[in-house]
Amino acid sequence: MSARARIPDRGRAADAVLDELAAMKQPDADWRGGRVFSLVYHAGEAHEQLLQRAYALYASANLLNPMAFQSLRRMEAEITQMVAGLFHGPDSAVGAVTSGGTESILCAIATYREHARAKRPWIRRPQIVAPRTIHPAFDKAAHWFGVELKKVDVDDEQRARPDAIARAVGRRTIALAASAPQYPHGTIDPIEELGEVATRHGLPLHVDACVGGFMLPWLERLGRPVPRWDFRVPAVTSISADLHKYGYAGKGASTLTWRDMSWMRHQFFVATDFPGGIYVSPTMIGTRPGGPLAAAWAALQAQGEDGYLALTRAAIEAAERIRAGITAIPGLQLLGRPDTTIVAWGTAPGGPDLYAIADRLEARGWSVDRTQHPAGVHLTVTANHLAIADDYVRDVREAADEVRADPSLARAPTAAMYGMMAKLPVRGLVKRGVRQLFEKMYAPGVVVPDATAPADDAVGRMLDKHGAKLDAVLDQVGKLRTRLKRR
Stretch of 206-214, 308-316, 358-366, 405-413 contacting ligand PLP, by CB under 6 A: 206-214
Binding residue for ligand PLP (CB under 6 A) from 211, 344, 368, 462?
211
Binding range to ligand PLP, per CB under 6 A, among 54-62, 99-107, 139-147, 273-281: 99-107
Radius of gyration of the chain (CA): 24
- Nearer to ligand PLP by Cβ, of 211 and 437: the residue is 211
Q: What are the beta bridge partners of residue 322?
A: none
Q: Which amino acid is at 473?
A: V
The interface with ligand PLP within residues 239-278 (CB under 6 A) comprises: 242, 254
Question: Do residues 430 and 473 lie in contact, with contact meaning Cβ atoms separated by under 8 Å?
Answer: no
Q: Say if CB 355 and CB 375 are below 8 A apart.
A: yes
In angstroms, rounded to a whole number, what is the distance separating the alpha carbons of residues 105 and 148?
Answer: 15
Please report whether residue 137 would count as binding ligand PLP according to CB under 6 A.
Answer: yes
Query: Counting contacts by CB under 6 A, is residue 101 touching ligand PLP?
Result: yes
What are the C-alpha distances in Å from 198 to residues 174, 194, 202, 338?
A: 10, 6, 6, 26
Cα–Cα dist 41/298, whole Å: 15
Determine if 158 is a binding residue for ligand PLP (CB under 6 A): no
By the rule CB under 6 A, 37 interacts with ligand PLP: no
For residue 484, the SS3 value is helix
Q: Which residue's Cβ has the minimum distance to ligand PLP?
A: 101
Beta pairing partners, 129: 150, 176
- Residue closer to ligand PLP (CB basis): 211 or 322: 211
Q: Of 89, 95, 100, 162, which lies in the binding site for ligand PLP, with binding defined by CB under 6 A?
A: 100
Pick the binder of ligand PLP from 35, 47, 115, 135 (CB under 6 A).
135
> Residue 132 in contact with residue 151, Cβ under 8 Å?
yes
Told to check if 210 binds ligand PLP by CB under 6 A, we report yes
Task: List the interface residues with ligand PLP, window 166-185 (CB under 6 A).
Answer: 179, 182-183
Task: Give the residue from 347, 351, 354, 327 showing the smallest Cα distance to 338.
Answer: 327
d(CA 71, CA 65): 11
Scanning 2-10, 109-117, 203-211, 458-466 for contacts with ligand PLP by CB under 6 A, the matching segment is 203-211
CB of 210 to ligand PLP, least distance (A): 3
Q: Do 463 and 417 meet the contact criterion of CB atoms below 8 Å apart?
A: yes
The rounded distance, in Å, linking the Cα atoms of 202 and 176 is 10
Does 283 bind ligand PLP (CB under 6 A)? Our answer is no
CB 252 → ligand PLP: shortest distance, Å?
9
Site residues (vs ligand PLP, CB under 6 A) = 100-102, 135, 137, 179, 182-183, 208, 210-211, 242, 254
